[in-house]
């Protein structure tokens, strides 16, 4: 009898590349995705070539242990973008992922099944689809990715609640004034896409600290491994040691030195330290860790200099459709009362809206005790191998989480180099 397959919910980078890896190990899987865009997912479905990777091509191989895989693909398929230190269009990366999946399907026939549909429940190791189909497996991997932002709230055609949705920006007129909730990578993506469509209006981006993503250096230097002082003691002491290291080396080299050990540090940190990091350091961590290509940073600087983009430190406290446009209320730090402005459109660029307690797949798992939240409530609690921890503290051998929703357990599980490693761990656990 053929053994039951592994069910993978979500067919973006994480789910599709796990299926490819499992097939290379001879393990059958069924990948289920509601969009049917297998491989590309949210990040790599863009057709706009101004949306480039925010990681150099040399680091974007989809396969752990084959570091040149993506650059070799570029050399064969798009040689004009094959600079290993360059930032290739995300559209090409999506093609690369689709090609990798197709080539594994061709060489390992019958081991990857793709199903288009929305999974609405997990019952044991069975996935229940919206249309009533039930697919049985021997284990389930939740690779559901980055949920859309959830800050804007107001339902109005003048409020773009999910800027990643296909056609989300189509209605934006050329002279519109815009408020972006968030000033991170999504805001930058949106500003570039609008500009390329001929938008010449003004964008005001709000974020709590008013920070913008930093730029990658033109030519990367070697990583500066963390010093002992950065790895022990209270968070404040580690931060001091990190700052000292950044005075002796380029700060980017210091961030790169932390990269391979970030998940290990996160897992070793007790809950108080994680909480302090999350509340106080996270915005700074994000802008230094998740950087943008130098030419993208130059474009953002030009928009700031031209007065087309303004960044304001404030919390957006209200968004409501008004007669003249959209009314936005915002509270700057230390201000006693919110201020208001009226714009033509609001775009929610606040980033992935992870909310496990409201997630249609995760909430029932939490309610039944098959899963539990981590102590900060960031996501499902997982063991070192990515298995879901039940309410009584044991690992469920048939339920895994992979990619961005695994952030509570590993913190950095958002970018390809980190997910790629996690894929190896999950694949090893599933084929042991």
CB 178 within 8 A of CB 202: yes
* Residue among 27, 54, 262, 422 that touches ligand FAD (CB under 6 A): 54
- Does the protein bind ligand FAD through residue 10 (CB under 6 A)? yes
Q: Which stretch binds ligand FAD (CB under 6 A): 211-219, 228-236, 245-253, 409-417?
A: 409-417
- Does the protein bind ligand FAD through residue 9 (CB under 6 A)? yes
* Residue among 57, 61, 146, 422 that touches ligand FAD (CB under 6 A): 146
315 Cβ neighbours under 8 A, 6+ residues apart? 206, 208, 330, 331
DSSP string, 216-264: PPSS-----PPPHHHHSS-HHHHHHHHHHHHHHS-HHHHHHHHGGGHHH
Choose between 14 and 263: whose C-beta lies nearer to ligand FAD: 14
C-alpha distances out from residue 301 to 236, 281, 298, 310, 337, Å: 32, 24, 5, 10, 31
Cα separation, 70 vs 20, in Å, equals 15
- Does the protein bind ligand FAD through residue 293 (CB under 6 A)? no
Cα separation, 269 vs 348, in Å, equals 32
- Does the protein bind ligand FAD through residue 429 (CB under 6 A)? no
Cα separation, 209 vs 214, in Å, equals 14
* Residue among 5, 41, 257, 379 that touches ligand FAD (CB under 6 A): 41
Residues paired with residue 346 on neighbouring β-strands, in sequence order: 159, 179
- Does the protein bind ligand FAD through residue 361 (CB under 6 A)? yes
- Does the protein bind ligand FAD through residue 396 (CB under 6 A)? no
Choose between 330 and 411: whose C-beta lies nearer to ligand FAD: 411
132 Cβ neighbours under 8 A, 6+ residues apart? none
* Residue among 7, 31, 55, 423 that touches ligand FAD (CB under 6 A): 55
The 99-128 contact track toward ligand FAD, x by CB under 6 A, reads -------------------xx---------
Number of other residues whose CB lies within 10 A of the CB of residue 296 = 23
CB of 305 to ligand FAD, least distance (A): 25
Cα separation, 349 vs 291, in Å, equals 16
- Does the protein bind ligand FAD through residue 135 (CB under 6 A)? no
- Interface with ligand FAD: number of residues (CB under 6 A): 33
Q: Which stretch binds ligand FAD (CB under 6 A): 26-34, 208-216, 309-317, 362-370?
A: 26-34
Residue from 142, 138, 144, 143 nearest 398 by CA: 138
CB 369 within 8 A of CB 391: yes
- Does the protein bind ligand FAD through residue 61 (CB under 6 A)? no
Element (H, E) at 283: helix 282-289
Number of other residues whose CB lies within 10 A of the CB of residue 358 = 11
* Residue among 4, 24, 34, 338 that touches ligand FAD (CB under 6 A): 34
CB of 45 to ligand FAD, least distance (A): 8
Residue from 261, 233, 251 nearest 242 by CA: 251
Residues 155-174 touching ligand FAD, rule: CB under 6 A, are 164
Q: Which stretch binds ligand FAD (CB under 6 A): 33-41, 197-205, 260-268, 313-321?
A: 33-41
* Residue among 5, 7, 11, 182 that touches ligand FAD (CB under 6 A): 11
- Does the protein bind ligand FAD through residue 33 (CB under 6 A)? yes
Choose between 130 and 264: whose C-beta lies nearer to ligand FAD: 130
CB 395 within 8 A of CB 388: yes
Residues of this chain that bind ligand FAD (CB under 6 A): 9-15, 32-35, 37, 41-43, 53-55, 90, 118-119, 143-146, 164, 189, 361, 403-404, 414-416
């Amino acid at each position: 009898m053929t053994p039951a397959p592994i069910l993978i919910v979500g067919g973006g980078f994480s789910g599709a590349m796990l299926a490819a890896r499992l097939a290379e190990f001879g393990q059958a899987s069924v990948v289920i995705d509601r969009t049917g865009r297998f491989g590309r997912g949210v990040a790599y479905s863009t057709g706009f070539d101004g949306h480039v990777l925010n990681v150099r091509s040399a680091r974007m191989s989809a396969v752990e242990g084959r570091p040149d895989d993506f650059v070799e693909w570029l050399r064969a398929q798009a040689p004009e973008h094959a600079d290993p230190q360059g930032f290739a269009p995300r559209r090409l990366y999506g093609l690369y992922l689709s090609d990798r999946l197709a080539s594994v399907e061709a060489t390992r026939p019958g081991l990857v099944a793709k199903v288009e549909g929305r999974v609405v429940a997990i019952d044991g190791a069975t996935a229940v689809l919206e249309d009533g189909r039930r697919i049985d497996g021997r284990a389930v991997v939740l690779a559901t990715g980055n949920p859309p932002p959830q800050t804007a709230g107001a339902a109005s055609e003048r409020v773009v609640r999910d800027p990643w949705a296909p056609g989300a920006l189509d209605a934006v007129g050329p002279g519109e004034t815009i408020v972006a909730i968030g000033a991170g990578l999504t805001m930058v993506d949106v500003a570039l896409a609008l500009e390329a469509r001929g938008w010449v209006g003004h964008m005001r981006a709000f974020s709590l600290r008013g920070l913008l993503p930093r730029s990658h250096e033109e030519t990367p230097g070697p990583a500066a491994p963390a010093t002992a002082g950065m790895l022990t003691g209270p968070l404040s002491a580690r931060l001091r040691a990190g700052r000292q290291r950044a005075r002796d080396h380029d700060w980017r080299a210091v961030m790169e030195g932390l990269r391979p050990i970030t998940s290990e540090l996160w897992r070793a940190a007790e809950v108080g330290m994680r909480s302090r990091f999350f509340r106080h350091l996270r915005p700074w961590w994000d802008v230094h860790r998740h950087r943008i290509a130098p030419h993208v940073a130059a474009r953002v600087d030009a928009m700031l200099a031209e007065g087309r983009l303004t960044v304001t430190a404030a919390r957006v406290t209200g968004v409501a459709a008004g007669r003249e446009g959209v009314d936005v209320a915002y509270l700057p730090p230390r201000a006693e009362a919110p201020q208001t402005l009226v714009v033509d459109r609001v775009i929610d660029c606040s980033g992935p809206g992870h909310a496990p307690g409201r997630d249609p797949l995760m909430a029932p798992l939490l309610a039944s005790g098959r899963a539990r939240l981590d102590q900060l409530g960031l996501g499902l609690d997982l063991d070192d191998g990515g298995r879901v921890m039940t309410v009584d503290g044991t690992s469920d051998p048939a339920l895994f989480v992979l990619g961005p929703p695994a952030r509570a357990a590993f913190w950095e599980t958002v970018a390809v180099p980190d997910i790629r490693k996690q894929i190896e761990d999950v694949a090893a656990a599933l084929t042991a």
